[in-house]
Amino acid sequence: MSTELPLIGDYSTPTTQLSGARIGVVTFPGTLDDRDAARAVRAAGAEAVSLWHADTDLQDVDAVVIPGGFSYGDYLRAGAISRFAPMMDKIVDAANSEAKLPVLGICNGFQILTESHLLPGSMIKNDHLKFLCRDQLLRVENNQTAWTNGYEAGQEITIVLKNQDGQYVADEKTLDMLEAENRVAFSYVGWNPNGSRRSIAGITNEAGNVVGLMPHPEHAIEAGFGPDHRGTDGLTFFTSVLTHLVGGKK
């Protein structure tokens, strides 16, 4: 199976100039998936910009991906030390600003976003205590966010899940609020792989510009390499944000 980049349709029509979109990918000590995330950004047709955790310059990026891995070895709590990185201060400010910088946190990136209080709740160890790596079926619960607008509501997708601290927890009030405000972005379908409350796999903030999830869309962007060796279900995250950036909300 051969694959050419970019994988999606031609965005270079006069009304949708996307060649200029620049998406930052943050690297912390212990980040693993920054290269894959950058590759996914390029596959979607945007320019990937490397951001270093200790820097304070966002380099005028249009969106940010906080990739997975084990930043600071998951010491203290997953994401707890990264949260205080100078780059995170900039990202938190930009996400909360009027411009509402789109931010996607994947796996350890999701944990960093909850530790930063950009998203509610937290992740604790999987209920079965094992590291788990599998092709995971998810349901898109909210397709109105910056990172999910290319999906159909209720669409089922398969992307990779791989973590040890993936059990999403929050108090009942917060869980009720997330469901009432349609802020559950993704749910696990079928078996709940880590004991997450209400089978929550990913959530969004109120404005829909910040999304975090445990599974890895950046590992499912190329035919021949994704789940079942064919899955490209994750690519829509990265094309969705481009649609969002040109104002093309669904």
Partner 1 sequence: MPRIVVDVMLKPEILDPQGKAIAGALPRLGFTSFEAVRQGKRFELFVDGEVTDEILAQAREAAETLLSNPVIEDVVNVEVVAD
Catalytic center residues: 107, 216, 218
Give the per-residue contact string, 41-80, with partner 1 (x = CB under 8 A; - = no): -----------------------------------xx--x
Does 126 engage in binding with partner 1 (CB under 8 A)?
yes
Does 120 engage in binding with partner 1 (CB under 8 A)?
yes
Of the residues 57, 89, 93, 127, which one makes contact with partner 1 according to CB under 8 A: 127
Of the residues 16, 96, 122, 182, which one makes contact with partner 1 according to CB under 8 A: 122
For residue 15, which phi and psi values (nearest 5 degrees)? -85, -20
* Residues of span 151-170 touching partner 1 by CB under 8 A: 167, 169-170
Could you tell me if 145 and 211 are in contact, meaning their C-beta atoms sit under 8 angstroms apart? yes
- The whole-angstrom separation of Cα 118 and Cα 162 is 23
Contacts of 62 (CB under 8 A, 6+ apart): 21, 22, 23, 46, 101, 102, 245
Of the residues 171, 176, 179, 181, which one makes contact with partner 1 according to CB under 8 A: 171
Instruction: For residue 204, give the amino acid letter.
Output: T
Could you tell me if 127 and 195 are in contact, meaning their C-beta atoms sit under 8 angstroms apart? yes
* CB 72 to partner 1: min, Å: 12
How many Å separate Cα 5 from the centre of its chain? 21
Does 236 engage in binding with partner 1 (CB under 8 A)?
no
Does 124 engage in binding with partner 1 (CB under 8 A)?
yes
* CB 188 to partner 1: min, Å: 17
Identify which range of 33-41, 63-71, 118-126, 223-231 contacts partner 1 by CB under 8 A. Answer: 118-126
- The number of residues that bind partner 1 (CB under 8 A) is 21
Does 31 engage in binding with partner 1 (CB under 8 A)?
no
The continuous run of DSSP H or E covering 134 comes out as strand 132-140
Q: Which two tokens stand for residue 203?
A: 């959530």
Does 29 engage in binding with partner 1 (CB under 8 A)?
no
SS3 annotation, 72-127: HHHCCCCCCCHHHCHHHHHHHHHHHCCCCCCEEEECHHHHHHHHCCCCCCEEECCC
Q: Name the site residues for partner 1 (rule: CB under 8 A).
A: 76-77, 80-81, 84, 114-115, 120-122, 124-129, 167, 169-171, 195
